[in-house]
Amino acid sequence: MLAANRTALVTGAASGIGAAVARRLAAAGDRLVLIDRDASRLSEVAGELADAVALPLDVSSADAATAVREELGAGGALDVLVNAAGVVVEPDDDHALARTLEINLAAAVRLTTGLVPLLRRAATPRVVNVGSVQADRAATGSVAYAASKGGLHAATRALAVELAPDGILVNAVAPGFIDTPMARLADGRTEYETDWFQSVYLEHGRLPLRRPGTPEEVAVAVSFLASPENTYVTGAVLAVDGGLGAAL
Using rule CB under 6 A, residue 156 touches ligand NAI:
no
Is 141 a binder of ligand NAI (CB under 6 A)? no
Which three-class secondary structure state does DSSP give residue 162?
helix
To the query of whether residue 201 is one of the catalytic residues in this protein, the response is no
Within 20-39, which residues bind ligand NAI (CB under 6 A)?
35-38
Positions 76 through 105 that interact with ligand NAI (CB under 6 A): 84-87, 103
Rounded to whole angstroms, the Cα distance separating 3 from 24 reads 11
Determine, following the binding rule CB under 6 A, whether residue 12 of this chain makes contact with ligand NAI: yes
Computed on alpha carbons and rounded to an integer, the radius of gyration of the chain in Å comes to: 17
Region of 54-62, 65-73, 113-121, 195-203 interacting with ligand NAI (CB under 6 A): 54-62
Burial code (b: 16+ CB inside 10 Å, e: under 16) for 216-236 equals: ebbbebbbbbbbbebeeebbb
User: Rounded to 10 degrees, what is the CA torsion of 97, 99, 103, 104?
Assistant: -20
Is 242 a binding residue for ligand NAI by CB under 6 A? The answer is no
244 binds ligand NAI (CB under 6 A): no
Q: Check residue 105 and report its DSSP letter.
A: I
C-beta of 130 vs 237, nearer to ligand NAI = 130
Rounded to 5, what percent of the chain is helix, strand, coil?
45, 15, 40
Task: Choose between 13 and 169: whose C-beta lies nearer to ligand NAI.
Answer: 13
Residues with a catalytic annotation lie at 145
Under the rule (CB under 6 A), what is the footprint of ligand NAI? 12, 14-18, 35-38, 58-60, 84-87, 103, 130, 132, 175, 177-178, 180-183, 215
